[in-house]
Structure 1
Amino acid sequence: MSEQPAPFRQFIVKVHGRCNLACRYCYLYEGPDDTWRERPAAAFPEVLDRTAARIAEHARTHGLKALSVILHGGEPLLAGADTLGRFTALVRDRAPKGCAVRAVVQTNATLLTEENLTTLARHRIGVGISLDGGRAAHNTRRVDHAGRPSWPAASRGARLVADRFPQSYAGVLTVVDLDRDPVETYESLLALRPPALDLLLPHGNWSAPPPHRGGTGTAYGDWLCAVFDRWWKAGRRETRVRLFEECISLLLGLPPVTEALGLEPFDAVVVETDGSIEQVDALKSAYRGAASTGLDVFDNSFDEALRHPGVAARQAGVEALADRCRACPLLAVCGGGHYAHRYRAGHGFRNPSVYCADLQRFIRHVAARLADASVVPSAPEGGAP
């Protein structure tokens, strides 16, 4: 591990801590960590003001040339598009000269309207959308608090972004669902014309396994391989799939840019609605308080958060991995998998990912496709060299 921790470059700000949906599988509101109940629903102006100041302070301290602000929740648009715009403007105004600030709101799309999107576009805030697929049948578990389907409003919002505000469209995030056909799910999402697609494995661990995870099977790896082949066959022109591009980059020896794969130090931090500084929400799928640091933006800098033992462990690279991972030939690509997926009660996070077999299956499959593509056919006899 480096003596100097890597600075944060992604600031996930909870502008609103509640959601207008009640998705039946939500690890945040249905999982083991219910600390969200103890926090205000929306971030007060003084919290956002102080957060902007702390982000700028961190950027100055580390000479950052670029950083990302992810406006998150809950459903961040419950705070109002104007609030998101004002906060983003605060960060940009206070960031040091020469530091580019990229802002994205991650939304379930149900509150996207022409007016909201106009406001977001004016403030140069990208729009990332979370969906389970591109059809009503894929989103049956995404319902509101009265049990009504969210798809009609979400699909309207997604198509409005694609049709009227393509310059704001950051992409679609989808969690892998073994109950859905992989290729059908992928193709349904293509109909929404996302410039990028994030495919995430469901948050689970050895003590609370993901759905349908049993034994040493590779159902999740098989699902990803099926979509990869469909994407690869199309020449990767239809949309970017970040997990696939990440895996290819790592296999080619290039540095990673997400936490799903690779060994680069993790660089994201969360600010909750009350100003608490926390680690990423995925850890809340492990146990109550797993993401807590005991710090807040009023009394503590982000540099203090970098020294927190939990953050340090996320940045320790190989040193934080299980012996089995350190001996694996896929280590440089897999990186041990997502940190939250390594948890086992009583043993902490120093374990292989609960998706270890799936990741091996997927990475080897991508490597094989790359190898096939790199084979140059021999020239026929009598032909040109």
Structure 2
Amino acid sequence: MTQQISIAPAADSLVRRREWRASEPDSIEALQVVYKVAERCNINCSYCYYFHMGDETPLERPAYAPHAVTERLAHWMAEGCAELRIPRAKLAFHGGEPAMIGAETFGKACRTLRDIIEPVANLSLAIQTNGVLLDERWTDHFIEHAVGVGISIDGPRGANDRFRLDKRGRSTFQQTEDAIRRLVVARAYGAPLPSTISVLHHANDYREIYHYLRDLGVEELNFLLPDRNVDDAEFQVSGEAERYGRCLSEIFEEWLAEDNEQVRIKFIDQTLVHFRASVTPGAIFRRGRKSNQVVIARSDGTVAIDDSYIPALDWYSEAPVRSMETHSLRDFLDNPIFAEIETTSSSTPTGCAGCRWRNICRGGDLENRFSARNGFDNPSVYCAAYKGLYETVCARLVEGGYPTALLSEKFGAA
């Protein structure tokens, strides 16, 4: 069966941003804090951006955040949301491996965060974990504190063991799969249905991986391209980017064939929004109010910009780091780097000017656009992967009745 894809308009997608500043009240819909509550990990994924991209600072900070830092963070978020009139706050326990702090410490942190932040802003809590340490005690805390759970798993054992081994080179697969199965079963008792994050590798079969994850009972699947930047000359000439395009296309086609609206995949959602009939491609990058502002909170009580930019290490290493004791949220967001990130993210690199897909990807994620020579003024190292995906999406939409004239109008001739 071919899935019918809604192309209804997005209500606010054409609102243009006017002199947006993160530090101005009413500029942000949701504050997302990624809390590095653990700065160490119990396994050793070889592709990990946090420990294998050249940034050594995590090892200089406390292994685990003391509860005093959690309390300070809660007040910092509450005060910032009040001052900037931010209605929603999201906090994700992250690491390293956040489950290393222990279930009881985790529960205490959740209670503190809710008690202090919820009188000011609607708070959602989440944890991103490898699942190895999760047991029934953790499930009880997830239920009690309404915590969303994301579990990192790359697929069945063969795919997962390609990179996700422990520090002695042993498989982590079974513990991770067991954690997912336990949470899926516990959904009947109020536990959250876990989501998954899988890092792509072009040698894997993503039709198989899609069905493996769905057979586990997962309904929210996230797939990430490996961290690299434009200075990876060997990758640039290897032809691997096209193979990653096939990975993305396989996932899209399996999702489409399943025809289940409960199944959500972030990169598919982000792609299809541009195909809505009334949306001008690129318009979603011009908003009057930013939907989600990411800040990293660290175990030593400092805050920093989104650490997913670490692959652009030459730039990232110069980014501001501030103490929550001396700088409010508004002070921190007033740093010019946030305007730089916003402007760069919503602009098109010079090399993308002639591409029919330029208004969908805007050159790709910032960290994948970076080079020491040109900064972020480069098409993504995964440019060919995106092109392959978009061609597949167009072909399947046309098969399902999407007007070819509308495709030409939106994206130009093929």
SS of corresponding position for 2:316: coil
Match among 188, 208, 228 for residue 232 of structure 2:
208
1:39 is matched with which residue? 61
2:307 is matched with which residue? 281
Is 1:337 aligned to residue 374 of structure 2? no
Does the C-alpha gap of structure 1 residues 254 and 15 become closer, same or farther in structure 2, counting only changes over 3 Å?
Answer: farther
**Deviation at 1:147?**
1.7
Q: Please show how residues 1-385 of structure 1 align to structure 2 within 5 Å.
A: 2-5=19-22, 6-7=27-28, 9-95=31-117, 97=119, 99-133=121-155, 135-140=156-161, 141-165=163-187, 167-208=191-232, 214-215=238-239, 218-237=242-261, 239-252=263-276, 267-287=293-313, 290=316, 292-316=319-343, 320-325=347-352, 328-375=355-402
Amino acid at match of 1:267: Q
Determine the C-alpha separation between the residues in 1 that align with 2:119 and 2:210: 41
Does the C-alpha gap of structure 1 residues 62 and 75 become closer, same or farther in structure 2, counting only changes over 3 Å?
Answer: same
Determine the C-alpha separation between the residues in 1 that align with 2:286 and 2:315: 25
**Deviation at 1:117?**
1.1
Structure 2: which 5+ residue stretches go unaligned?
1-17, 404-414
- Indicate the percent of aligned positions where both proteins have the same amino acid: 27
**Deviation at 1:319?**
6.2
**Deviation at 1:247?**
1.1
Task: Return the TM-score normalized by structure 1.
Answer: 0.88
Does the C-alpha gap of structure 1 residues 43 and 130 become closer, same or farther in structure 2, counting only changes over 3 Å?
Answer: same
**Cα RMSD for the two superposed structures:** 2.6
**Deviation at 1:38?**
0.7
SS of corresponding position for 2:400: helix
**Deviation at 1:350?**
2.4
SS of corresponding position for 1:13: strand
233-242 or 270-279, which moves further after superposition?
A: 233-242
1:383 is matched with which residue? none
Query: Residue 55 of structure 1 contacts residue 91 of structure 1 at CA under 8 Å; is this kept in 2?
Result: no
Structure 1: which 5+ residue stretches go unaligned?
256-260, 377-385
Determine the C-alpha separation between the residues in 2 that align with 1:3 and 1:229: 37
Higher relative contact order (CA 8 A, sep 6+): 2
Give the length in aligned residue pairs.
370
161-170 or 218-227, which moves further after superposition?
A: 161-170
Task: Return the TM-score normalized by structure 2.
Answer: 0.82
Determine the C-alpha separation between the residues in 1 that align with 2:175 and 2:241: 37
SS of corresponding position for 2:216: coil
Query: Residue 10 of structure 1 contacts residue 267 of structure 1 at CA under 8 Å; is this kept in 2?
Result: yes
SS of corresponding position for 1:219: helix
Does the C-alpha gap of structure 1 residues 52 and 97 become closer, same or farther in structure 2, counting only changes over 3 Å?
Answer: closer
